[in-house]
Structure formats: C-alpha cells, structure tokens
Amino acid sequence: MKNVAVIGAGTMGNGIAHTFAQSGFKVKLIDISEDALKKGIATITKNLDRMVSKEKITEVLKQETLGNISTYTSINDGVQNVSLVVEAATENINLKLKIFKQLDEVCDKETILATNTSSISITQIAAETSRPDMVIGMHFMNPVPIMKLVEIIRGYNTSDDVTNTIMELSKVLSKIPVEVNDYPGFVANRILMPMLNESIETLYNGVAGVSEIDTVMKLGMAHPMGPLQLADFIGLDVCLSILNVMYEGFKNPKYAPCPLLVNMVRAGKLGVKSGEGFYDYSESRKAEKVAKQFV
C-alpha cells in the first residue's frame, strides 16, 4: 500500500497528506477548490520548513515529502490506482454520504475507504457503499504531523482484515492506533466535547472569565492548553457539529450544546480560523503564535 488519496485540503486533510508523504507514500491530495489545494501545499511547505529549522528532518526529506504529493480537483481522477482513500472533508453528514457513494462507484473494488470523521457513524457512512466491510474510521488528531494518536473506528460491518491493515498502516506512519467501536463521538470527543461544553457553560453562567477558566485547567489539571483556547483552536463550528451529532445520537441532554456556543457560531466567531472566538486572533501573528505551540 504505497498509493493513497486524501480528500480535503483543509487543516486535517493537508496534515494527513503531509504525514503519509513524509512516510514515503505517494499521495493524491484532492479538493474541489484549486485555491484550497494551493493553501494546503503552502501549509505543508511551511510546516516542513519549521521542522527543518528545528533539525527534526533534513532538507532532502522535505523535498522528497513535497515530491510525493500531487493535487487534483476531481475525485474521479484522484482516486485512480490507490489502495486507500482517506476522506477529510467538512464534518457534515450529507457531504460525507455523498462522497462515499461516489467513491464506491469510482474506486477499485479492493480500495479501502476511510473517513477522518470525529463523530459521525462509520456504519451509516458505510451503508452508502456496496463494500461496508471495507469502510473504516481513521480519526487523526490536530496537528496531524505531531500528534501520535489515531482512533481506528470499526463500523458494524468492518472486516477484521481491514481493521488489522489500518492498525498496522498507522504504525508505519509512526502513529499509535487505538481501536474503538462505532458510537457517537467515539472515545476522544465523547470525553473531550462535554468538557469543552461545560467550560463554555461555566463562562455563560458567569462563574469566571475566559482567562480564569483556562488558567484553572492549565495550572490545576496540567492541561497544556485551556479548554476555551482549545475550542478556539479546534473551531467552534466543529465543536458545535460534534455536540449536535452526540446529542442526536444519544438523546441525552448532557450533550446539548451551550446557547453561548450556538450564538457564537451563528455570529461567525469560530475561533482561530475566523480571527475571533473566546480570544482575539485578529492579528495574523497572534493566530500563528497559538499554532506554533504545537509544532
């Protein structure tokens, strides 16, 4: 398995492409937007430059990594002759179902179809295909080139062979795979998102301010980043989407998103990517400073 395709050139997609390419895989990075592809390659190049400057990789490996990536604006063209497709599009169930239906029609029958979803049912996604046994979740953590964990999520029909293959593949990427079962939020977000939501509720109820809440969690619980800052980094729209999936999946009010979170997303205050969330990132250097903490 040396040829893979990654769908989506955003934060997660370009990080996944970077990771595969740096490990020697030939990667086809696919996005319907040519601008998104250019930005994705620019991000990968910038991250590689940072790694070279810190002497984590050589200039030769940087050039080899970039040489391993080709870009496509067509799914049909990009997924030809690949052994694995990793979908990393927006966390939207209707979009993902549409993509997987298309992938099933145009990919080789032996191609494994993986999704980087952080909360949506693998079983539901797999049901859109004629190969549910070959559909699996690969939930990478952000920033992908740095974070070691990959949640490997089995759908109801995912085969043992496919699961074992993806577990071993993750190790080749120098990641630590953890197998989990297919329930809303899986493990990482089922635990993380209620904590972030409760932190937002604490702010909403006037218990403490933004910096105070984050300071308590950083100094008292040894978290490297406060929960509100982390929510900004993830994207408040992403947090809201995941909480909604969990709330719909479990019908349990403890997963209902805080009204403050809902209103901030409606107002376009999405965190780092929009320039404002619980913190102000209006100056580009502020956002860059936050991102650099993790690289």
Catalytic residue among 189, 197, 241, 274: 189
Strands of the sheet containing 84-87, edge to edge, are 69-72, 26-30, 3-7, 84-87, 112-115, 135-140, 149-154, 176-181
The pair of structure tokens assigned to 211 is 């910096």
d(CA 189, CA 14): 21
Q: Evaluate whether 135 touches 121 at the Cβ level (below 8 Å).
A: no
d(CA 216, CA 195): 13
d(CA 247, CA 236): 16
Q: Evaluate whether 199 touches 217 at the Cβ level (below 8 Å).
A: yes
Catalytic residue among 14, 116, 128, 139: 139
d(CA 265, CA 270): 6
Active site residue 189: yes
Active site residue 263: no
Give me the helix-helix angle, 227-234 and 210-221, nearest 10°: 110
Catalytic residue among 118, 170, 199, 274: 118
Active site residue 284: no
Active site residue 130: no
Give me the helices (H) in 79-186, please: 93-106, 122-126, 160-172
Backbone angles phi, psi at 136, to 5 degrees: -150, 160
Active site residues: 118, 139, 151, 189
